[in-house]
Structure 1
Amino acid sequence: MLTRSLLTRRSFILIHHDKYTKNISTWNQAIDNVQLHNPQVNAFVAVEERQVLENLGSQSMQRHEQGTTLSPLDGAPIGIKDNFCTETLPTTCGSKILEGFISPYDATVVQRLKQAGAIIMGKTNMDEFGMGAANIYSHYGTVINPHDQEKENGNKRHVAGGSSGGSAAAVASGMCIAALGSDTGGSVRLPASYCGVVGYKPSYGRCSRYGLVTYANSLDTVGILAQDVNSARLVYDTISAYDSKDPTSMPNNLRTRIDDQDQKFVSRWHNKDDLTGLVIGIPQEYYVDPLSETVIDFWRQGIRFFKERGATIVPVSLPMTRFALPAYFTIALAEASSNLARYDGVRYGRRSQANREEDDEFLYADTRAEGFGSEVKRRIMLGTHILTAGTYDKNFLPAQKARRLVQEDFDKVFIQPNLLHHDEKMTDITENKGVHLLLTPSAMSPAPTIEECLPESDDSNDKRKEHHGAVDTYVNDVMTVPASLAGIPAISVPFEKSNGFPIGLQLLGQYGYDQFLLEIADIFSLAKLK
Structure 2
Amino acid sequence: MLSRCLSTTPIRRHASTLGPKATDSLWRQAIIRKNDSINAIVHVASEDASEALANGPLQKVAIAVKDNICTKSMPTTCSSAMLKDFRSPYDATVVRLLKEAGADLVGKTNLDEFGMGSLNTYSIHGPVVNPFQLPNEDSSWESREQRSAGGSSGGSAAAVAADMCYAALGTDTGGSIRLPASYCGVTGFKPSYGLISRYGVVSFADSLDCVGVIAKTTKRVRAVAEVIMVPDARDPTSASHALRSNASSHSPRLSATRLDGLRVGVPAEYFPSELATSVITPTRRVLSAFQSLGATIVSVSLPSTPYALSAYYVIACAEASSNLARYDGVEYGLNVTVQRTRSGDTAMRSYAATRTQGFGPEVRKRILLGTYALRADAFDNYFQQALRVRQLVRDDFNKTFRSPDVRFMVSPPAPAADQHGVDIIVHPTAIQPAPLIDDNTKQGLDAYVQDVLTVPASLAGLPALSIRSESSIRDSHEWPIGVTIVGQWGSDDMVLRVGEMVDMSLRS
3-state SS, counterpart of residue 250 of structure 2: helix
Deviation at residue 199 of structure 1 after TM alignment: 0.3
3-state SS, counterpart of residue 458 of structure 2: helix
Q: Name the CA distance, whole Å, in 2 between partners of 1:179 and 1:361.
A: 40
2:72 to 87, 90, 106: 87
Q: Name the CA distance, whole Å, in 2 between partners of 1:409 and 1:389.
A: 30
Q: Does 1:491 align with 2:465?
A: yes
Runs of 4 or more above 6 Å deviation: 4-8, 26-29
Contact 1:9 1:28 in 2 (8 A): no
Q: Describe the shift of the 1:270–1:27 C-alpha distance in structure 2 as closer, same or farther (beyond 3 A).
A: farther
Q: Does 1:38 align with 2:35?
A: yes
The corresponding residue for 1:279 is 263
Deviation at residue 331 of structure 1 after TM alignment: 0.4
Query: AA paired with 1:470?
Result: G
Query: AA paired with 1:98?
Result: L
Deviation at residue 318 of structure 1 after TM alignment: 0.2
Q: Name the CA distance, whole Å, in 2 between partners of 1:221 and 1:297.
A: 30
Contact 2:260 2:294 in 1 (8 A): yes
Deviation at residue 425 of structure 1 after TM alignment: 3.5
Q: Does 1:201 align with 2:190?
A: yes
State the Cα RMSD in Å: 2.4
Q: Name the CA distance, whole Å, in 1 between partners of 2:432 and 2:149.
A: 13
The corresponding residue for 2:325 is 341
TM-score (normalizing by structure 2): 0.90
TM-score (normalizing by structure 1): 0.86
Q: Does 1:288 align with 2:287?
A: no
Query: AA paired with 1:87?
Result: K
Q: Name the CA distance, whole Å, in 2 between partners of 1:420 and 1:251.
A: 11
Q: Name the CA distance, whole Å, in 1 between partners of 2:278 and 2:505.
A: 17
Deviation at residue 252 of structure 1 after TM alignment: 1.8
Contact 1:282 1:438 in 2 (8 A): yes
Aligned ranges 1:43-442 → 2 under 5 Å = 43-53=40-50, 60=54, 69-70=55-56, 72-148=57-133, 151=137, 152=139, 154=143, 156-262=145-251, 265-266=252-253, 268-271=254-257, 274-355=258-339, 359-425=346-412, 428=415, 430=417, 432-442=419-429
Deviation at residue 430 of structure 1 after TM alignment: 4.7
Deviation at residue 228 of structure 1 after TM alignment: 1.0
Contact 2:429 2:466 in 1 (8 A): yes
Deviation at residue 355 of structure 1 after TM alignment: 3.1
Query: AA paired with 1:78?
Result: I
Q: Name the CA distance, whole Å, in 1 between partners of 2:148 and 2:340.
A: 40
Query: AA paired with 1:172?
Result: A
Q: Name the CA distance, whole Å, in 1 between partners of 2:280 and 2:386.
A: 30
Deviation at residue 32 of structure 1 after TM alignment: 4.8
Q: Name the CA distance, whole Å, in 2 between partners of 1:361 and 1:208.
A: 36
The corresponding residue for 1:470 is 444
Contact 2:286 2:469 in 1 (8 A): no
Q: Describe the shift of the 1:5–1:393 C-alpha distance in structure 2 as closer, same or farther (beyond 3 A).
A: closer
Q: Describe the shift of the 1:100–1:307 C-alpha distance in structure 2 as closer, same or farther (beyond 3 A).
A: same
Contact 1:415 1:429 in 2 (8 A): no
Q: Does 1:506 align with 2:480?
A: no
Query: AA paired with 1:480?
Result: T
Contact 2:76 2:86 in 1 (8 A): yes
Deviation at residue 251 of structure 1 after TM alignment: 1.4
Provide Cα deviations, 1:494-517, integer angstroms capped at 9, x if missing partner: 124132321110000001000000
Q: Name the CA distance, whole Å, in 1 between partners of 2:146 and 2:338.
A: 37
Q: Name the CA distance, whole Å, in 1 between partners of 2:61 and 2:323.
A: 34
Contact 2:134 2:479 in 1 (8 A): no
Contact 1:439 1:505 in 2 (8 A): yes
2:455 to 475, 481, 485: 481
Deviation at residue 29 of structure 1 after TM alignment: 7.3
Q: Name the CA distance, whole Å, in 2 between partners of 1:183 and 1:109.
A: 14
3-state SS, counterpart of residue 353 of structure 2: helix
3-state SS, counterpart of residue 406 of structure 2: coil
Contact 1:81 1:179 in 2 (8 A): yes
Q: Name the CA distance, whole Å, in 1 between partners of 2:15 and 2:502.
A: 37
Q: Describe the shift of the 1:314–1:7 C-alpha distance in structure 2 as closer, same or farther (beyond 3 A).
A: closer
3-state SS, counterpart of residue 424 of structure 1: coil
Provide Cα deviations, 1:184-229, integer angstroms capped at 9, x if missing partner: 0000000000011110000000011010000001000111111211
Deviation at residue 156 of structure 1 after TM alignment: 3.5
Deviation at residue 155 of structure 1 after TM alignment: 6.2
Query: AA paired with 1:270?
Result: A
Q: Name the CA distance, whole Å, in 1 between partners of 2:481 and 2:192.
A: 23
Q: Does 1:9 align with 2:16?
A: yes
Contact 1:7 1:29 in 2 (8 A): no
Deviation at residue 356 of structure 1 after TM alignment: 7.6
3-state SS, counterpart of residue 121 of structure 1: strand
Deviation at residue 308 of structure 1 after TM alignment: 2.5
Q: How many residues are aligned here? A: 483
Farther-moved stretch of structure 1 (152-161 vs 436-445) = 152-161
Contact 2:285 2:469 in 1 (8 A): no
Query: AA paired with 1:50?
Result: E
Deviation at residue 309 of structure 1 after TM alignment: 2.6
Deviation at residue 36 of structure 1 after TM alignment: 2.5
Provide Cα deviations, 1:36-95, integer angstroms capped at 9, x if missing partner: 211110011111112234x85xx74xxxxxxxx32x211111110000011111111010
Farther-moved stretch of structure 1 (500-509 vs 159-168) = 500-509
3-state SS, counterpart of residue 395 of structure 1: helix
Farther-moved stretch of structure 1 (344-353 vs 314-323) = 344-353
Contact 2:188 2:212 in 1 (8 A): yes
Contact 2:283 2:469 in 1 (8 A): no
Deviation at residue 529 of structure 1 after TM alignment: 8.0
Q: Describe the shift of the 1:10–1:237 C-alpha distance in structure 2 as closer, same or farther (beyond 3 A).
A: farther
Query: AA paired with 2:500?
Result: D
3-state SS, counterpart of residue 470 of structure 1: coil
Q: Name the CA distance, whole Å, in 1 between partners of 2:24 and 2:484.
A: 29
Q: Describe the shift of the 1:317–1:297 C-alpha distance in structure 2 as closer, same or farther (beyond 3 A).
A: same
Contact 1:203 1:514 in 2 (8 A): yes
Contact 1:30 1:77 in 2 (8 A): no
Unaligned runs of 5+ in 1: 12-25, 61-68, 457-468
Query: AA paired with 1:484?
Result: S
Instruction: Report the structure, 1 or 2, having the larger helix content.
Output: 1
Q: Describe the shift of the 1:506–1:260 C-alpha distance in structure 2 as closer, same or farther (beyond 3 A).
A: same
Query: AA paired with 2:484?
Result: Q
3-state SS, counterpart of residue 170 of structure 2: strand
Provide Cα deviations, 1:338-366, integer angstroms capped at 9, x if missing partner: 11111111110011145389944410010
Identity %: 45
